[in-house]
Structure 1
Amino acid sequence: MKRVAAVVALLGLAAVTACSSSGNTPKSATGGGGGLYTTIDGNHPGIDPAGPANPFAPKGNSFTGYNAMKLAWTKNHLTDPNQFYPGIAASWEIAPDNSSITIKLQPNNKWSDGKPVVADDVKMSIAIAYSQGNTAYSLQPGAAGAAADVQVVDDHTLKVTQDMANPSVTFVRGVMDMPVVAAHVWSGVIPANIWDTIKAARGTDAAAEKARADITALGKQIIAFAPPKDVSAGPYVLERVNASEALLVKNKNFYNAANVGPDQVKLLNYTGNEQIWNFLKGGKLDNAPFTAVPADTMAQIKAAPGNAVVKGFSPVALGMAFNQSKAPYDNVHVRKGLAYLIDRDQTTKVASPEGGTPAITTTGIHQKPAQEWLGAELNNLEPYKHDAAKAEEEFKAAGLQKKDGKWALSDGKAWKVTLHVPAPFSDWLSGAENIKSQLAESGVDAEVITTADYPLYLEELAAGKYDIGFWLIALGPAPYNIYSRLYGVTNGWTNIAGKTTHAAPGKAGNWMGGPETIEVDGQKINPGELNAKLNSAGVDEQKTIMLQLAKATNQNLPMIQLWDYVNTQFVNTNRFTGFPEADSDLLRQSSGVWIQLGMVKKKQ
């Protein structure tokens, strides 16, 4: 998959928590500093030399973890979205009811131009976040998990309060997962009355609509802004950029500069997997984040001196999703028949041998957190193991006919399964081609149709143009986010101001077209309403709801869960040491985060 762009793009509990840099920063590796560290930015294919040093610009030269900083860096916890490593924030305290978070900034951090990083920088960055649609800083009236108030306590302390009229367990994550920029650089872009406009925008009258329109317009100006030079609060500052690479040099004013190992970082340009493979085979990269790699190429990469593979948990799975408003996929027996026909072990081995594990069943949850959420009940769900005889039973129950060894629709017309995938995603394409072959062997005619790029693919998928499309699911760790992929807008449900509504198939982005209610254990449930409850429920209630939704997903099959992703990364120990070990939660963060936490050191 082309840098698994969809995975990268997608991916953010009430408790009293006090986290500090001393308690959350991994111990530094032994060894001195110095040297050039070479990698790629998994969020940044296609370096644009003309791009600004602006973290909000789609083609900007602001690289997360290197010269772009967030308040904190999320840990890769199985079930808790509110665990972090320090960034601009040194420590934080979450209120017992999740109603607020008090943030303490790094006391000695400075921007690369020597000015201190203070709470006013963060408050201006929050104003910008409102214009960019950040989840915690939404101006949509009644939005779940939105901030109600931002208070600067002192130069290094802020308190952000949640609107408890419609609370969300992901509020804290939304607050912390936010870029921070220098107020003295951005003040000319942000109107002096911005907070008055934000306050007005929270209303429901005509004045509020105008205020929201003004902030939307401001958002476009922010995206277009080009600072005169890079002013960074991270471990590095941009030195130069061209069509081949970006070079960053150490920011001596960074709060942990003494423990930043490499003096320079070079980020190489790439546009697809093949370039990354060649970099790795040549031993050019000190690290490469998750990259889909075929078996023969993996062997060549491993053969390069110093190269090693490190694997960890990735809270993402791949589903083959159905448009249930289209026949014959409106019939659950057809969906079940296809589930029994597809050998997920074979598909995963062909498509993602290093980056995925076959789904043990279809739940809508990655199998690792599924064990935490569902416990022993996971073993009671239908596994849909490859079974041609069961597939035939299901097809017959759906009324399909078999003629001359080929399955046809109930009216005798030809049936062709059409699988849509974005062309740049090599693992998805390989998986679809394998499924096509498997179905053909069982008498089901199938074809694979590719879409030129991922944005167009998503656009056409949302427009209901596909019968079947590959769809990322299980985006943890927050339970609400996990099931929003199946029981959110794409399947008709919208949660606004604490009220859940359902749109008919083909309306308001509902391309999945599933039923509004599903019978589970003899009781009718509304999956969208249950998923909305996950936004504010306590842990015990969350587990009950997760089990109900897992059962509903397992028996109704809005999609077939093909494989659960494994975060397969590459490191080279010829030049540096101190990389995260297998299963480290830091594998979901960039090399820049590892470096700024003091882990990576030049090899002695």
Structure 2
Amino acid sequence: MKRLAAVAASLGLAAVTACGGAGGKSAESGDLYTTIDALKPGIDANAPINPFNPKGNAFRGYNSMSLGWTKNHLTDPNQFYPGIAESWEIAPDQSSITIRLQRDNKWSDGRPVTAEDVKFSIGLAYTQGGTAYALNPGAAGAASDIQVVDDKTIKVTQSAENPSATFVRSIMETVVVPAHVWAGVLPADFWEKVKLARGEGPRAEAARAEITALAEKVTSFAPPKDVSAGPFVLKRVNPGEALLVKNKNFYNTAKIAPSYVKILNYTGNEQVWNYLIAGKLDNAPFIAAPAGVMKRIGETSGSGIVKGYSPVGEALAFNRSKKPYDNVHVRRALAYMIDREQVTKIASPEGGAASVTTSGMHQRAGKAWLGDGFAALEPYKVDLAKAGEELRAAGMKKNGARWVMPDGRPWKVTIAVPAPFSDWLAGAKAVTSQLNDAGVEAEVVTTADYPLYLEELAAGKYDIGFWLVALGPAPYNIFQRLYGASNGWQLFGGRLRHVAPGKEGNWMGGPETLDVEGVGKVNPGELAVKLNSAPEAEQKKIIAILAKAANQDLPVIQLWDYVNTQFVNTTRFTGFPGTDSDLLRLTSGVWLQLGMIKKK
């Protein structure tokens, strides 16, 4: 897994086979669109055609469909492009959403897509838990009622007990599958069990356990063939590629330019570089590449780059149970020593923009939410004199050219990164080089892969680690990265509690309350949770406090904001999203189904 997949998975992108098309048609004929899937590095030919299976051969926007596709607006998480849903009506207080399905959409086997399909798919989502489909009493943003109004209309109501501003997005992102294919997966009394599970007591607990126990049955289900409501249907898959053919029953099939889509397998950045240099891909999400490789990609006929907003940032995160990182003056000193512009040039010159400051937010979202208040935050520009003052305020001492601990013991900064993430690794090395030059002994330690890295990070094994932040657009999601479970705040059944460092995944180890200049004592975890249900005016006030808290307390040092950089090749197709288009956050399968992409 590479950094591309890590970013795509978080809101979240050469065994090269020839790109000849099916049925003797070639890519040059304009009938075949070729790409990679950032969400599925490493195609598993033996995986089921199942969107609930992590390795399943269901490709988002191609043969796997959601009710809608999130636009990733800077401040409003409830804007979408149509998918299975043609239109939707959101209650003013977000207490419900009424969804009207595409009138002419059919499954690839000819049956109509109905509201019963959507309700059944919601049932499958309940077995997976989380978001709107959590069954725990009092869970934030949980659905309380699903009503099939007619064959093409369904209404979902939010529980009034603990409403959430993310409820609508959770519903619209529901993956829809054909009930007639999946019918045997859920028991006949499933909805009675859901109703019971929402209550209290032993019977409710037993019902929740029964529903949760269905999760593995759902993820392992293997339909005998692909029955898709998307623009394409999976025809075949092998270790090198997945081939999809146009679904003639898709509601917008007349505007789908290619007859075939080929999704090529890759397991590393180098394979994607080779695809791009050879002109094999019509589109690819950004992958980290050195300057020389970027130059060669740019020289390929038809090759181009499109850039837009990406609500993700990269940061150094502190484990404050490790000394001396429990001292804010040490964290500030390190911030004053790091040249973020230089780090970004080395680590992510095409895919990142140096963070203006630490606020918890991407700089564009920060400016949208805070206005002039964003510029008032401390920028932590490189200033070794200020860094020295901060270290002395923490009791640190100079021993010759090196800073040491207050008791004279050596101090070594260790920064952990997963070895396969080339941009993270380059960034970490750039930071340690700068710290060594500033008199702080520093080194990079690597972990073999990303899953192990996350496991060891959560276990508190690292002093400092790279950490994705600013995961928008919902402000609750943004600040959960700083003031959520990783920093001790656990939300369960609508009740928030703060656990001690080292307990229940609290590896950041921050205090429960902070004194924020000009505000006073605040509980940032409580404020972050309030973002779930507060109206926009109150959200702005809360965000201003949390941004100031993050800027003052520095639970992390933000290094760069990701730029959503996409590779396109206009040799065969045109109509790709332009600079700053919100569509760049969606797969090219969505671009195709919306009728944007045209044959050259």
Give the Cα separation in 1 of the matches to 2:11 and 2:448: 23
CA deviations on 1:33-91 (whole Å, 9 max, x unpaired) are 95100000110110011111100111111100000000000002000000000000000
Partner of 2:25: none
CA deviations on 1:491-523 (whole Å, 9 max, x unpaired) are 111233433211111112111111111111151
Partner of 1:6: 6
Partner of 2:318: 322
Partner of 1:282: 278
Partner of 1:525: 522
Residues 112 and 231 in structure 1, CA contact (< 8 A), matched pair in contact too:
yes
Paired residue type of 2:231: P
Give the Cα separation in 1 of the matches to 2:493 and 2:240: 47
Task: Give the C-alpha shift of residue 449 in structure 1.
Answer: 1.0
Which is further off, 548-557 or 209-218? 209-218
Residues 30 and 572 in structure 2, CA contact (< 8 A), matched pair in contact too:
no
What secondary structure does 2:368 align onto? helix
Residues 310 and 581 in structure 1, CA contact (< 8 A), matched pair in contact too:
yes
Give the Cα separation in 2 of the matches to 1:190 and 1:557: 47
What secondary structure does 2:184 align onto? coil
Partner of 1:423: 419
**TM-score normalized by the length of structure 1:** 0.95
Residues 165 and 497 in structure 1, CA contact (< 8 A), matched pair in contact too:
no
CA deviations on 1:556-600 (whole Å, 9 max, x unpaired) are 000000000100000000000111111000000001000000011
The aligned runs of 1:549-568 (5 Å cut-off) are 549-568=546-565
Paired residue type of 2:222: A
Partner of 1:23: none
CA deviations on 1:500-549 (whole Å, 9 max, x unpaired) are 21111111211111111111115101100111111111111100000000
Residues 3 and 290 in structure 1, CA contact (< 8 A), matched pair in contact too:
no
Residues 125 and 180 in structure 1, CA contact (< 8 A), matched pair in contact too:
yes
Residues 1:597 and 2:594 aligned together: yes
Picking from 572, 583, 588, the partner of 2:585 is 588
Give the Cα separation in 2 of the matches to 1:271 and 1:204: 47
Residues 1:576 and 2:573 aligned together: yes
Give the Cα separation in 2 of the matches to 1:213 and 1:457: 30
Give the Cα separation in 2 of the matches to 1:47 and 1:92: 34
What secondary structure does 2:185 align onto? coil
Picking from 502, 526, 531, the partner of 1:534 is 531
Question: Identity percentage over the alignment?
Answer: 67
The aligned runs of 1:153-164 (5 Å cut-off) are 153-164=149-160
Paired residue type of 2:596: M
**TM-score normalized by the length of structure 2:** 0.96
What secondary structure does 1:413 align onto? coil
Residues 416 and 466 in structure 2, CA contact (< 8 A), matched pair in contact too:
yes
Picking from 465, 469, 474, the partner of 1:473 is 469
Give the Cα separation in 2 of the matches to 1:121 and 1:237: 18
Give the Cα separation in 1 of the matches to 2:223 and 2:494: 40
Residues 1:453 and 2:475 aligned together: no
Residues 462, 3 of structure 1: alpha-carbon distance in 2 compared, 3 angstrom cutoff = closer
Task: Give the C-alpha shift of residue 286 in structure 1.
Answer: 0.1
CA deviations on 1:184-235 (whole Å, 9 max, x unpaired) are 0000111111111111211231222221221121111111111000100000
Partner of 1:398: 394
Which is further off, 444-453 or 585-594? 444-453
Residues 1:62 and 2:58 aligned together: yes
Give the Cα separation in 2 of the matches to 1:248 and 1:55: 15
Partner of 2:24: none
CA deviations on 1:423-447 (whole Å, 9 max, x unpaired) are 1111100000111111111111111
Paired residue type of 1:224: S
Task: Give the C-alpha shift of residue 4 in structure 1.
Answer: 2.1
Residues 3 and 42 in structure 1, CA contact (< 8 A), matched pair in contact too:
no
Give the Cα separation in 2 of the matches to 1:150 and 1:522: 42
Task: Give the C-alpha shift of residue 134 in structure 1.
Answer: 4.0
Residues 3 and 273 in structure 1, CA contact (< 8 A), matched pair in contact too:
no
**Aligned residues between the structures:** 583
Residues 142, 502 of structure 1: alpha-carbon distance in 2 compared, 3 angstrom cutoff = same
What secondary structure does 2:126 align onto? helix
What secondary structure does 1:112 align onto? coil
Residues 474 and 482 in structure 1, CA contact (< 8 A), matched pair in contact too:
yes
What secondary structure does 2:214 align onto? helix
What secondary structure does 1:549 align onto? helix
Picking from 177, 198, 206, the partner of 1:202 is 198
Structure 1 unaligned blocks of 5 or more? 13-32
Give the Cα separation in 2 of the matches to 1:561 and 1:204: 43
Picking from 503, 507, 513, the partner of 1:511 is 507
Residues 1:82 and 2:78 aligned together: yes
Task: Give the C-alpha shift of residue 3 in structure 1.
Answer: 4.7
Give the Cα separation in 2 of the matches to 1:553 and 1:241: 47
Residues 492 and 503 in structure 1, CA contact (< 8 A), matched pair in contact too:
yes
Partner of 1:19: none
Picking from 523, 527, 543, the partner of 2:540 is 543
Residues 1:366 and 2:386 aligned together: no
Task: Give the C-alpha shift of residue 291 in structure 1.
Answer: 1.7
Partner of 1:25: none
Give the Cα separation in 1 of the matches to 2:208 and 2:457: 29
Give the Cα separation in 2 of the matches to 1:594 and 1:273: 24
Structure 2 unaligned blocks of 5 or more? 13-28
Give the Cα separation in 2 of the matches to 1:372 and 1:413: 45
Paired residue type of 2:473: P
Paired residue type of 1:592: G
Give the Cα separation in 2 of the matches to 1:590 and 1:506: 38
Residues 3 and 272 in structure 1, CA contact (< 8 A), matched pair in contact too:
no
Task: Give the C-alpha shift of residue 290 in structure 1.
Answer: 2.6
Paired residue type of 1:7: V
Partner of 2:410: 414
Task: Give the C-alpha shift of residue 335 in structure 1.
Answer: 0.3
Which is further off, 447-456 or 581-590? 447-456
The aligned runs of 1:204-223 (5 Å cut-off) are 204-223=200-219
Give the Cα separation in 2 of the matches to 1:466 and 1:326: 9
Residues 1:270 and 2:262 aligned together: no
Residues 361 and 478 in structure 2, CA contact (< 8 A), matched pair in contact too:
yes
Residues 259, 3 of structure 1: alpha-carbon distance in 2 compared, 3 angstrom cutoff = farther
Residues 1:170 and 2:163 aligned together: no
Which is further off, 494-503 or 377-386? 494-503
Give the Cα separation in 2 of the matches to 1:338 and 1:551: 18
Paired residue type of 1:393: E
Partner of 2:332: 336
Residues 3 and 422 in structure 2, CA contact (< 8 A), matched pair in contact too:
no
Picking from 490, 496, 507, the partner of 2:486 is 490
CA deviations on 1:138-165 (whole Å, 9 max, x unpaired) are 1122111110000000100000000011
Paired residue type of 1:588: R
What secondary structure does 1:124 align onto? helix
Which is further off, 337-346 or 521-530? 521-530
Give the Cα separation in 1 of the matches to 2:137 and 2:508: 26
Give the Cα separation in 1 of the matches to 2:401 and 2:490: 44
Paired residue type of 1:540: A
Partner of 2:40: 44
Give the Cα separation in 2 of the matches to 1:403 and 1:34: 67
Task: Give the C-alpha shift of residue 378 in structure 1.
Answer: 1.2
Give the Cα separation in 1 of the matches to 2:64 and 2:368: 34
Paired residue type of 2:223: P
